[in-house]
Amino acid sequence: MAQTFYPITPVEVTPGTASAWTDVDVSAYVPAGATGVILHCVNTHASNNYALGLRKNGSTDARTTSITSNAHCWAAIGVDANRIFEAYIGNTTYIDIYLVGYTVSGVTFFTNAYDKSKTTLTTWEDIDCSTEAPSAIGLIFEVKGSTAAYAMGLRTNGSTDNRTASTLYHDTFGVIIGCDASQICEGYIENVAVDFFLVGYITDGCTFNTNATDVSLATTATWLDLTALPATANMGFIEVTSGGAYNYGLRKNGSAEDIYKYAFRHPWAFVECDASQIIEGEIANVAVDFFVVGYATAVAVVQLSAVSAGVCSVSGAIRVARALAAASAGIASVSGAIRVARSLSAISQGVASVTASLTKTKWLSAISAGVATVSGSIRVARALSAVSAGIASVAGSLGILRGLSATIAGSSIVTASLFHVRKGIKTLAAVRNLLAVRNIPPVR
């Protein structure tokens, strides 16, 4: 399953012009290739209702019903290739639009929405979207009410859920709901003044519950953790119902955001969860309930870590391979050099013959141009030979020096011997003189 919903830290993108369709460029916050945006819309005025409209850039849709004072809701709408959508607001001071996420391939938005409004009242009825949303697993609607509050509901085909709280004006606005394998969901209206418009559909990256999971709170007036979403979730699609105009808030666990306004009375929320799949909620009255109808799936961090490690290994392997290739090339060069060196001697001996052949053979004239290089190599070889001869001479000289050293070392012994010889000669001469005086003949 691919990731198709990407929550971001909320950033306000409210247009600066009121009562006109205005381009909203979100290219600074979402990447190229984004197909749509997830928006959180708030009317901060305590008593005045103001118009709110959203559409894909280039659309001719023109639904600008008000959002009730002090109310908030979520929506999902398409962007064009330049990451622009269009917004219509009745007041630039009190209507706030926050960008809270974006979608990519796997979530498709129409330029102009398809009207899927019902005519049958107070009964659950199939809404077939197979033509507009082939292969869809989830459907994205815009809900438009009227000045009077009428009951409405949307659920996955085959569900037994039966939540039909009323809606007013544009207070529900965005709905994301699952469908069956035939791209059918079910809808309920109390009055034909409530309309459903199919603005997009989902084919990947989300899981939808046939029957929603109740994650309602029992404590009021404080932010509390909701029951955790499944382990792979990064965003929850939460249906909110309220028995009256009571405040509620939903936010990522750990966030400091504090948008706490009316649920009037059947909005949906598209909210990021933390790494533990926790979303925080706050309610002013236990008549406000939360139901998880589905969730978007994130790419698991552990998978990314494994991929990253694999990339490092591959990169390392590539570097090793390159090093081996370089080493192999170097070995070849060294081997070649050795072979060249061995050949230089033979080349030196054959140079005279080669030169003679070159002067006598015209078809070898092309090779003649290379003689200088060969001759240069021969000169190098001869120089090496001279060095070798010099080394032999040096070695001989070292031998002579060693011999001289030995001779010098022995000279002291010779000198001592000569000293004793001289003393012996003097002694012999004295003996001879004594014998002559006494007329004693010398021994022969």
Question: Whole-angstrom distance between the N-terminal and C-terminal Cα of the chain?
Answer: 128
What CA–CA distance (Å, rounded) separates 241 from 293? 13
Tell me how far the alpha carbon of residue 387 is from its chain's centroid. 61
Please give the pLDDT value at position 298: 95
Give residue 286's pLDDT.
Answer: 98
Longest dimension (CA), the chain: 176
Which of left, alpha, beta for 155 (phi over 0: left; psi -120 to 50: alpha)?
Answer: beta
Q: Which pTM value belongs to this model?
A: 0.70
Spatial neighbors of 214 by CB under 8 A, at least 6 apart, are: 289, 290, 291
Reduced to 3 states (helix: H, G, I; strand: E, B; else coil), residue 224 is strand
Degrees, nearest 5: CA angle 193-194-197: 125
Give the torsion through C-alpha atoms of 190, 194, 198, 203, to 10 deg: -40
What pLDDT is stored for residue 432 in this prediction?
52
Q: What is the pLDDT of residue 299?
A: 82
Q: What does the block give as tokens for 436?
A: 């002559």
User: How many alpha carbons lie under 13 Å from residue 368 in its C-beta half-sphere?
Assistant: 12
**AA letter at 191:** N
Report which of 91, 212, 232 is spatially closest to residue 153, judged by C-alpha positions: 212
* Per-residue pLDDT reduced to its tens digit, 10-41: 999 999 999 999 999 999 999 999 999 999 99
* Contact predicate 168/148, CB 8 Å: yes
Parts of the chain with a pLDDT under 70: 300-444
> Cis (ω within 30 of 0) for the bond into 432?
no
Question: Would you tell me how many other CB atoms lie within 10 Å of the CB of residue 210?
Answer: 14
Please report, as a single letter, which amino acid is at residue 54: L
On whether the CB atoms of residues 221 and 294 are closer than 8 A, the answer is no
Which region holds residue 324: left if phi is over 0, alpha if psi is between -120 and 50, else beta? alpha
Cα 369 to Cα 380: distance, rounded to the nearest angstrom: 19
Q: Residue count of the chain, please give it.
A: 444
Please name the residue ranges forming H helices in 128-192. none
